[in-house]
A = this chain, B = another copy of it.
């Protein structure tokens, strides 16, 4: 297991963590100043400043990327299916332009939430099948672009409105069906927040192995959690044994960046400097 306590060279900042404090360019500049040498941008934050400007900002600051967030939302009714397809191909292209090592995928829940305007459905089995079809199709496009797809199993409390792929077992079953040769083009983004509760988490990390472990995200689970989306915790403030999970992925050979992604109204309300300083400090002591 790597020693992260002495510097933060393996820290990546997911830009959603400070989305309220600055625009993408501002975040990139602040990271460079703090010695954070890696980011993982969100699409809407990139779109806000323009893709070209975002690419230039990353290059000018000399930053690396740990991923691009996010494609997915595959579930849609017939009317919105082409929109979903086009949108995902654009996400691959953008990830490529930015030099991201993978495109993170949040697959979508029921179609009415995934692609608003879609006819409402309660058929989560159908949604899961549609996700797999959408993934298969996108994989062909991603292969041509040489952009690995990182399927992110989301916590089951997001099954209805964000992602109906909710465990590592489910995600790896899909990977093995769509990419049986383990080509390196399809794997997982493992986020401690989403998987920590799973009695199989260690077994599934072993099953994934190095080649399917494309990204490792950290944040903490607060008790109580006051909001399902926006009350994620800074590492060390909650109940997840984060080092235990990091040890498990590193035992498989994961040697990439550890990405901090905290969606939190609390942290969004604090100054950018404070969030970045705390992130760096906790990265060294609680990850």
Task: For A125, list chain B residues within 8 Å (CB).
Answer: 202
From DSSP, what is the main secondary structure of chain A's interface residues? loop
Interchain CA distance A125-B221 in the complex, whole Å: 16
Task: For A123, list chain B residues within 8 Å (CB).
Answer: 241
**A 49-80 contacts with B by CB, 8 A:** none
Task: For A155, list chain B residues within 8 Å (CB).
Answer: 156-157
**A 120-175 contacts with B by CB, 8 A:** 122-125, 128, 155-157, 159-161, 164-167, 169-170
Selected interface stretch from A12-20, A37-45, A191-199, A268-276: A191-199
Looking at the assembled complex, report how far the CB atom of A203 sits from the nearest CB atom of chain B, in whole angstroms: 11
Q: Are A166 and B197 in contact (CB under 8 A)?
A: yes
Residue among B161, B165, B225 making CB contact with A157, cutoff 8 Å? B225
> On chain A, which size bracket covers the interface?
20 to 34
Task: For A241, list chain B residues within 8 Å (CB).
Answer: 122-124
Interchain CA distance A165-B200 in the complex, whole Å: 11
Q: Are A239 and B157 in contact (CB under 8 A)?
A: no
Q: Does A223 contact B (CB under 8 A)?
A: yes
Q: Does A240 contact B (CB under 8 A)?
A: yes
Give the number of times this chain occurs in the complex, counting copies.
Answer: 2
Looking at the assembled complex, report how far the CB atom of A138 sits from the nearest CB atom of chain B, in whole angstroms: 20
Looking at the assembled complex, report how far the CB atom of A92 sits from the nearest CB atom of chain B, in whole angstroms: 25
Task: For A239, list chain B residues within 8 Å (CB).
Answer: 110, 122, 124, 160
Task: For A24, list chain B residues within 8 Å (CB).
Answer: none
Looking at the assembled complex, report how far the CB atom of A231 sits from the nearest CB atom of chain B, in whole angstroms: 10
Q: Does A224 contact B (CB under 8 A)?
A: yes
Residue among B170, B196, B202, B228 making CB contact with A199, cutoff 8 Å? B170
Residue among B199, B223, B240 making CB contact with A128, cutoff 8 Å? B199
Interchain CA distance A59-B123 in the complex, whole Å: 42
Q: Does A113 contact B (CB under 8 A)?
A: yes
- 14 pairs, A vs B, C-beta closer than 8 Å: A113-B223, A123-B241, A128-B199, A155-B157, A157-B225, A159-B196, A159-B197, A164-B197, A165-B199, A166-B197, A167-B199, A170-B199, A225-B228, A228-B228
